[in-house]
């Protein structure tokens, strides 16, 4: 039947658990690597499939979502250490009752965004994630079976502030003026909306783990639009409560706790130590942060630097791991330049990420549609080569 007596799925054993070990703060024989948006438009096989299927149809059809998730795993066989379920952060606004379309070459579009706090009444009062987002859970379970233990599967959701920003702007935006205006004009109503989104995030992430996700990432892609004070008021508290609620809920349902990654893009220049203390196992870094500096700040931030826990230990008792952080634009440069940048990231004179463990290699943001897939291969190979080399020194 695929489920055991307690209703949990059983899946084939893992043949590669590097990323799970690194996420739990351990040293690994080499740095595990995956790439945000690894299943996406830079891949010709993805573009081919999109010719005959609408974007959200791909998200809602488990067999299509599974196929797209596996495309990069097949193409870069042996080079990627995780799959990320094909979906989008905007499935939560849809589940809450808003219409979202994906317009060709324009990106996400909400025909009727939230204009004033009165519009919040248009959102569903209670969101049953099994009813609204069960297709994501089905896609995860199907993908876990298909992966057959080759690499772990990552689940994800958007963070409350980033989702609120889309729900008010109605799509991508240069300055997010409408959403930021809410924070000044309607702070209490903004907090209520953020809390409602956070509650859905928690149910959604817990459901993903029960369906088979082995690692979770929360994407606060527009955290960097906020002032430091607004980040601390309107983003960080919700990031924190998502981590603690997901961990509490998983413990009480006795599903094994999975590591969680927090990506607060653009906010780490002012808030890295706060994010390090937010209850996540891994802090994802964008490319504006210096690797050695980040390691120092994160280790110093943790109250758990008690000898029993070691520097940088979190509630789970392990060192907070780092993820990142090459500028995705480097993938447009020559393969030689890519290798040079990878080596710098892992081993610079100022100290890189390599050799210390508690590290997952990735880009500092998603891979972009114009990248040559062979350049991504050069990046992945360079990570394997240099991290092994550095670990052996």
Catalytic sites, residue numbers: 37, 41, 50, 88, 166
Part of the chain binding ligand CP3 (CB under 6 A), chosen from 101-109, 197-205, 231-239, 383-391: 101-109
Q: Is 287 in the site for ligand CP3 (CB under 6 A)?
A: no
**Does residue 223 belong to the site contacting ligand CP3 (CB under 6 A)?**
no
Minimum Å gap between C-beta 55 and ligand CP3 is: 5
Q: Binding to ligand CP3 by residue 161, rule CB under 6 A?
A: no
Site for ligand CP3 in 11-70 (CB under 6 A): 36-41, 50, 55
Please say which residue, 29 or 177, places its beta carbon nearer to ligand CP3: 177
Nearer to ligand CP3, 139 or 301 (CB): 139
Query: Can you tell me which of 137, 156, 176, 386 binds ligand CP3, judged by CB under 6 A?
Result: 156
Q: Which is nearer to ligand CP3, 20 or 43 (CB)?
A: 43
Interatomic CA distance for residues 92 and 73, integer angstroms: 26
**Options 102, 197, 338, 345; binder of ligand CP3; rule CB under 6 A:** 102
137 binds ligand CP3 (CB under 6 A): no
Is the four-CA dihedral 140, 142, 143, 149 of positive or negative sign? positive
Nearer to ligand CP3, 136 or 302 (CB): 136
Least distance (Å) between residue 69 CB and ligand CP3: 8
Measure CA 331 to chain center: 20
Q: Which residue in the set 64, 80, 84, 363 belongs to the binding site for ligand CP3 (CB under 6 A)?
A: 84
Contact residues for ligand CP3, defined by CB under 6 A: 36-41, 50, 55, 84, 86-90, 102, 107-108, 156, 172, 219, 221, 365-366
């Amino acid at each position: 039947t695929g489920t055991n007596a307690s209703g949990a799925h059983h899946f084939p054993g893992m043949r590669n658990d590097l990323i799970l070990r690194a996420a739990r703060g351990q040293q690994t024989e080499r740095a595990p690597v995956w790439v945000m948006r690894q299943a996406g438009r830079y891949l010709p096989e993805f573009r081919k499939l999109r010719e005959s299927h609408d974007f959200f149809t791909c998200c809602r059809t488990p067999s299509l979502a599974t196929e797209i998730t596996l495309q990069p795993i097949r193409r870069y066989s042996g080079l990627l250490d995780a799959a990320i379920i094909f979906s989008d952060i905007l499935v939560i606004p849809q589940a809450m009752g808003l219409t979202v379309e994906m317009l060709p070459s324009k990106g996400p579009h909400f025909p009727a965004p939230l204009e004033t706090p009165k519009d919040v009444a248009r959102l569903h009062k209670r969101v049953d994630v099994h009813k609204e987002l069960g297709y994501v859970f089905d896609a995860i379970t199907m993908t876990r079976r298909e992966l057959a233990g080759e690499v772990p599967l990552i689940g994800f959701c958007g963070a409350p502030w980033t989702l609120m920003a889309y729900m008010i702007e109605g799509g991508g935006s240069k300055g997010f003026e409408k959403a930021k205006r809410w924070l000044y004009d309607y702070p209490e109503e903004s907090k209520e909306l953020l809390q409602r989104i956070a509650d859905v995030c928690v149910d959604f992430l817990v459901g993903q783990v029960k369906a088979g996700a082995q690692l979770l990432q929360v994407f606060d892609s527009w955290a960097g639009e906020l002032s430091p004070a607004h980040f601390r008021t309107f983003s960080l508290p919700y990031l924190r409560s998502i981590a603690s609620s997901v961990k509490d809920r998983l413990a009480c349902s006795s599903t094994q706790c999975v590591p969680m990654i927090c990506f607060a893009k653009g906010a780490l220049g002012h808030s890295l130590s706060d994010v390090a203390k937010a209850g996540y196992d891994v802090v994802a870094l964008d490319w504006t942060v210096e690797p050695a500096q980040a390691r120092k700040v994160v280790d110093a931030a943790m109250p758990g630097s008690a000898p029993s826990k070691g520097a940088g230990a979190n509630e789970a008792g392990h060192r907070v791991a780092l993820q990142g952080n090459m500028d995705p634009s480097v993938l447009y440069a020559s393969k030689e330049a890519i290798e040079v940048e990878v080596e710098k990231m892992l081993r610079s004179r100022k100290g890189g990420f390599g050799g210390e463990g508690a590290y997952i290699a990735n880009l500092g943001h998603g891979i972009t549609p114009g990248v040559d897939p062979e350049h991504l291969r050069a990046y992945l190979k360079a990570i394997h080569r240099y991290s092994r080399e550095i670990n052996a020194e």
